[in-house]
Chain A
Amino acid sequence: GAVVSQHPSWVICKSGTSVKIECRSLDFQATTMFWYRQFPKQSLMLMATSNEGSKATYEQGVEKDKFLINHASLTLSTLTVTSAHPEDSSFYICSATSGEGYNEQFFGPGTRLTVL
């Protein structure tokens, strides 16, 4: 149990276009989902926290108008990178928690975004 999926697993886009990444909790209801970004040889950096039905909370330095997060249901959150630029190229990982027990976060497999 506790499986989180992401789609797509990788995407290449042109500079200036927008890209949507989906994160789904497959076998549990995720009260909270998190979006992380990871650059090569670095650890995960939290971008934003989203609760179902409410606005996401962004970390300092993360542009909310550039990284649009929608958590429309208890099993789906989306991250849209708007007007992507090469510096947005990174590995984006989502995680989800049901809020029970250890409040453990279950991570998705990640999405590799390359902006040309």
Chain B
Amino acid sequence: KNQVEQSPQSLIILEGKNCTLQCNYTVSPFSNLRWYKQDTGRGPVSLTIMTFSENTKSNGRYTATLDADTKQSSLHITASQLSDSASYICVVSGAGFQKLVFGTGTRLLVSP
């Protein structure tokens, strides 16, 4: 069964600190993996997208890694800001089909 699991479910960190969010997937065959940021009451916004051959990709203070062998990905946030408070969703696209497989998300709260 195609699944995406994320951990932790929720996380509270102090402003300025770093954090890492985890994503494990069982989607096969694999096409690409995306990380989205979703603010409360808004649609998801793409942060990074990685294919099978990519190990890491950065977008400002966000750095995503991918290990296609172990089917794991992480999203590292550096020097967190209050505006980083949101849900972060890991989404995997399988090769040959349009539907995305969504993780349940990690709710991040950055505290002053």
Name the residue on B nearest A104 (C-beta): B49
* Bound complex: CA A95 to CA B46 (Å): 12
Interface residues on A, range: 20 to 34
| Nearest CB of chain B from residue A105's CB, rounded to whole Å | 6
Q: Does the CB pair A112–B41 fall under 8 Å?
A: yes
Known A32-B98, A103-B93; contact A43-B104, beta-carbon cutoff 8 A: yes
Chief secondary structure at chain B's binding surface: strand
Q: Does the CB pair B93–A46 fall under 8 Å?
A: no
Name the residue on B nearest A41 (C-beta): B107
* Bound complex: CA A91 to CA B105 (Å): 16
| Nearest CB of chain B from residue A116's CB, rounded to whole Å | 19
* Bound complex: CA A46 to CA B104 (Å): 13
Q: Which residues of A contact B43 (CB under 8 A)?
A: 4, 6, 93, 95, 107-110
- Which B31-68 residues sit within 8 Å CB-CB of chain A? 31-32, 34, 36, 41-46, 49, 51
Q: Which residues of A contact B103 (CB under 8 A)?
A: 43
Interface residues on B, range: 20 to 34
**Chain A 90-104 interface 0/1 with B at a Cβ cutoff of 8 Å (1 = within):** 010101010000111
Name the residue on A nearest B43 (C-beta): A107
Interface residues of B, Cβ cutoff 8 Å to A: 31-32, 34, 36, 41-46, 49, 51, 89, 93, 98-100, 102-105, 107
Interface residues of A, Cβ cutoff 8 Å to B: 4, 6, 32, 34, 41-44, 46, 49, 91, 93, 95, 97, 102-110, 112
Pairs of residues from A and B, 6 with the lowest C-beta to C-beta distance, nearest first: A107-B43, A43-B102, A110-B43, A109-B43, A107-B44, A43-B104
